[in-house]
Amino acid sequence: MSSVSGDFNQRLEPRPPRERVTDNSFKWAARIFALSILAMLIWIAAIVAIRAVPAIAEFGLGFWVNSSWNPPREEYGVLPAIYGTIVSSIIALGISVPIGLGVAIFLSEDYLPPKVQRIFVFLVELLAAVPSVVYGLWGIFVLIPFLKEITPLKGPGMLPAALVLAVMVLPIIAAISRDAISSVPKDLRQAAVGLGATRWEAIILVILPAASSGIIGGIMLALGRALGETMAATMLIGNANKVNLSIFEPSNTIASLLANQFAEASGLQVAALMYAALILFAMTLVVNILAQMLVKRLQRI
């Protein structure tokens, strides 16, 4: 220290102005980029809404309950698509929620050695990474022929689409529920077991209720994904623009309506499709925001 002791008598100079400007502009640039994410969401909503205005002016709320989609006569309504979107998502969740929850419990308990467990976690993650067009391809060539053998299904329809949707959203439910379950404090489980509960009594009566906000958040995220999933639905649901109550009949979703029609649309049809897109965007946005709020509570347990 003695060799530099003389330097300590020097006053510390403030940083040169140029350096301060670079530093501050870097920070501002980073802040602007961060805020641009929020701006991006608003931009998407604004663009879709503005382009939908002609159709909103023309059809108003009748658009929601009209079931014809007839470009030559300029008649548009999304009732069948809304019905198909909601029903396919509900069926998909009905299948994937119990299975996903089972997977989450199985992978958060010590049933398996850690190495094997990690492989299973990886496989479930992989399920989420497979491109949806590949799911669609498999559905067309394997699932639909198989279902035709064992059900009254005649071709594409609600059932195969909902089944593939279930497979696609399952990893979301499994992953988030697993996070929620493993963030429940260990003391709670120990207390339950100490009171004489079996492993499953502890899971059902103590752990799942404690993790419920995260689990419900995960289910809602999965719902958001199912509502907006496009390729699997488009390739498997049959794209029939009417309300078919049977799940063995073709149906339609908002996303597959968009996927099928945008490339050839013009004029008022573009506006009608934008209106449909706006409805889908609003639905998924509400579901997603609620889900985020529930999942965020995880960190506060």
Partner 1 sequence: MTLDIHNSPSSRFDPTTLKRNPKSGRTLFGLIMTGVAGLFMVLAIVPLFLILSYVIIQGIGQLQPRIFTELPPPPLVEGGGFGNAILGTILMVGIGALISVPVGVMAAIYLSEFSNGKIAEWTRFATNVLSGVPSIIVGVFAYAVFVLTTKSYSAWAGGFALAVLMLPIIIRTTDEALKLVPQEVRQASVGLGANDYQTVLRVVLPAAVPAIITGVTLAVARAAGETAPLLFTALFTQFWPNWKEFLMEPTASLSVLAYNFAIVPFENQRELAFAAAFILVLLVLLTSIISRLATARRTY
Give residues 219-248 in contact with partner 1 (rule: CB under 8 A): 221, 224-225, 227-231, 235
Q: Which residues contact 241 (CB under 8 A, 6 or more apart)?
A: 67, 68, 69, 80, 81, 252, 257
Of 11, 72, 263, 300, the residue at the interface with partner 1 (CB under 8 A) is 263
User: If phi over 0 gives left and psi between -120 and 50 gives alpha, with beta otherwise, what is residue 60?
Assistant: left
Q: Judge contact between 140 and 262, C-beta under 8 A.
A: no
8 is a contact residue toward partner 1 (CB under 8 A): no
* Chosen residue from 6, 72, 114, 131 binding partner 1 by CB under 8 A: 131
* Smaller CB separation from partner 1, 85 or 241: 85
State which of residues 133, 152, 190, 301 lies at the interface with partner 1 (CB under 8 A): 133
DSSP letter assigned to residue 76: E
* Integer CA distances (angstroms), 131 to 91, 137, 138, in order: 21, 10, 11
Q: How far apart are the first and last CA of the chain?
A: 49
Which of positions 31-70 make contact with partner 1 (CB under 8 A)? 31, 33-38, 40-41, 43-44, 47-48, 51
Among 137, 188, 240, 243, which residue interacts with partner 1 (rule: CB under 8 A)? 137
Q: What is the closest distance, in whole angstroms, from the C-beta atom of residue 233 to partner 1 in the complex?
A: 10
Residues touching partner 1: how many (CB under 8 A)? 95
Q: How many CB atoms lie within 10 A of CB 209?
A: 12
Q: How far is the CB of 33 from partner 1 (least distance, A)?
A: 4
Closest approach, Cβ 245 to partner 1, in A, equals 25
By CB under 8 A, is residue 1 in contact with partner 1? no
Q: Which stretch binds partner 1 (CB under 8 A): 2-10, 59-67, 175-183, 276-284?
A: 276-284
Among the residue ranges 64-72, 120-128, 182-190, 241-249, the one whose residues contact partner 1 (CB under 8 A):
120-128
**What sign does the CA torsion over 175, 160, 244, 227 have?**
positive
Q: Is 207 in the site for partner 1 (CB under 8 A)?
A: no
Alpha carbon of residue 224 to chain centroid? 4
Nearer to partner 1, 129 or 245 (CB): 129
Distance from C-alpha of 141 to C-alpha of 153, rounded to nearest angstrom: 14
Instruction: Tell me the C-alpha to C-alpha distance, in Å, between residue 166 and each of 1, 95, 145, 215, 249.
Output: 68, 6, 18, 16, 18
